Amino acid sequence: MADRYLSLTGTSPGRFLTRRLGLPQPARLRRWSAEQPSLQGRLLHLTAGKSDLDLAPVLALAGLDLDLVPAGSALDLSTENPVAVVLDATGVRDVDTLSEVHAALHPVVRSVADSGRIVVLGSPPDPTDHHQAAVQQGLEGFVRSLGKEIGRGRTVNLVRLTDARAAESTFRFLLSPRSAYVGGQVIEVGDGEAEKGAPADWSKPLAGRTALVTGAARGIGEAVAATLARDGARVVCLDVPAAEADLAAVAGRLGGVALALDITADDAGARIADALPEGLDVLVHNAGITRDRRLVNMPAERWSSVLDVNLASVLRTTDALLAGGTLRPGGRVVATASIAGIAGNAGQTNYAASKAGIVGLVRALGPRALSEYGVTVNAVAPGFIETRMTAAVPLFIREAGRRMNSLSQGGLPVDVAETTAWFASPGSGAVNGQVVRVCGQSLLGA
């Protein structure tokens, strides 16, 4: 269903009316397209504190189509609007140097172009230095607050890292139209020891790789399958037998393979392995259901069916495909959580429990899967996404879901798909055990 309010605010009368009434004024977001795959303009590199990072080679990436303004260089903000800003605050170790974050961004924020990006770089909090840990944690509150006030489709995110080279894939995602609906997030990038090398072609990073997407017949799953295919993957589309006709249509359009089976079956993992004798590189757990009702009115069947599809099947199939060697070294597991699992939601104790369980799975399995199998495990946590399911939500609840985020609008299935594709990239081997919300920086939850 179209967002008529967003369309209204894109007109002159609509902007005038909503401004006079003090209503949200969402900006139409710039997303990836074949015609405009990159942000284009100036990338401003700023610093706060004394940094040991060598960012210049990474920020000068040709694939970003950005004109790097190096740290210490002047930029006339009265005539030029940077489309992206990277603030290196990894050297912030005390309250005095934390003030340099304000000094660096205060004169710049107003000049950032519409739908622009601000990425703040921090260091992992040091448990042996409580001053450094305090101010580095302070960056999290700073980034989330700035993201809620900056407006005009602009986003602010925090990346914690120690090795700039390991973050190339993350920079390519956050400093591009692909991350249009990702804001207020804290992403930790490892030291790159797990990296097996950057893709030969960043426009087709998944070339030669096989990806399985569950729940692929429609909605977010269909968008994920299409985006992975765009990035070069051979896509295996999985859904329940009842959706076999739609599933075959999706797979056929993408040049992929349809696999109709019930993911909750005890032998689902074995059947997937049989269908993929040459192995699997990317496993996307997208299948999910809701059976909403307040706990006092929720029969056991509504509880168990949601937990079985959304969590138990993910645990069983992941275990089977890892233990059996179907997931090859260098592989990626991407599961679908939800902001309901982070913030909770009335009437969804079953759904929230299942999605919080995905968060627990990712945090616990990520480090072990990497060390034992060479596989990373991450999750996307969507907020309000425009799908057929949310189109059926009552009007006022639907409008609240759309407006209660920093971008004042719902996301699209492709926003979840782009984040999934970033996790799935062979260049993202240093990103592991992460849960990234795709929610326009929802006002609910952390």
Annotated active-site residue 181? The verdict is: no
Of 382, 293, 292, 400, the closest CA to residue 343 belongs to 382
The catalytic residue positions are 351
